[in-house]
Amino acid sequence: MFRRVDLDNFVVEAVSRNVARVSYATSLMKKGVFISTTEHLLSAFIGMGIDNAIVELDNLELPILDGSALPIVEMIMKAGVRRQRRKRTYLRIVRPIEVSEGDKSIAVYPGPAYTVSYSINFPHPLIGNEAYEVELTNGSYISDIAPARTFGFLEQAPMLQNMGLIRGASEENAIVLTRDGVKNGPLRFEDEFVRHKVLDLIGDLALLGHQMLGRVVADRAGHAMHTALVSRILKDPSLWEMTTLEDLDSQELEPDEQLAEGLA
């Protein structure tokens, strides 16, 4: 949950019902109190296995830092993480669901782990068609996803600024793309662009309120479709069940094995 210390410690929970705006970033609002650009921080939490945190801030927007989740990950590692006694409860997908709009789509299918597969297509010589897949339960988030920075096109900057967006954008907090290259290279990964889309998606799906078990497949989606998927999942309880990893392990045992384990 987010706590606005500048507004009498007003709390805005990081859940789907508080989604306010999804234009170029995901923002939350509760009773008129606004929290902007939440996806990078929430992504870092999920990627590091954190599901119980209070985030205090004295402004309406989270700092963009270097445009990735890596500085947040480093701060969390420096501060330390406390393991709690209560077993973690997961939202396990049991039936597939798909959301599409034109040539864009996002879907989630049952699976034993949290896996994200993302495809993008931008008409730029450094991007074009890119695809990336990652499993979040094997610790790969910190090395493979967290360092990927947000990106933007130099020619679109005036238009976005006129809309009141990217006011703090600079070469220090985003990859700046010219018509045929990168203004502030080098890239951290050859496919850094699609990796950042994965980073954003993980942060947006954190608005489920629980860590997920399932396989997410996205094609040219974005914040609006990410949060639409969250809303659709939460509105249909037949798509999921709440479980712990211990419950899943016991379900996978055959009846004789369960008996033997009990006798042991």
DSSP string, 233-260: HHH-GGGEEEE-HHHHHHHHS-HHHHHH
Residues 40, 124, 196, 223: which is the catalytic one? 223
Q: Which residue has the tokens 């993980």?
A: 202
Identify each DSSP E strand in the chain by its residue range: 2-4, 10-12, 19-21, 27-30, 33-35, 55-57, 90-93, 97-101, 104-109, 114-122, 128-135, 151-153, 175-177, 211-219, 240-243
210 is catalytic: no
Q: How far apart are CA 259 and CA 262, in angstroms?
A: 5
Q: What would the two tokens of residue 165 be?
A: 């967006």
Residue 244 burial by Cβ neighbours in a 10 Å radius (0-12, 13-18, 19+): middle
Q: What would the two tokens of residue 127 be?
A: 């991007």
Q: What would the two tokens of residue 50 be?
A: 């954190």
Q: What are the phi and psi torsion angles at 85 (to 5°)?
A: -75, -35
State the angle between helix axes of 39-47 and 192-205 in degrees (0 to 180), rounded to the nearest 10.
90
Catalytic residue ranges: 223
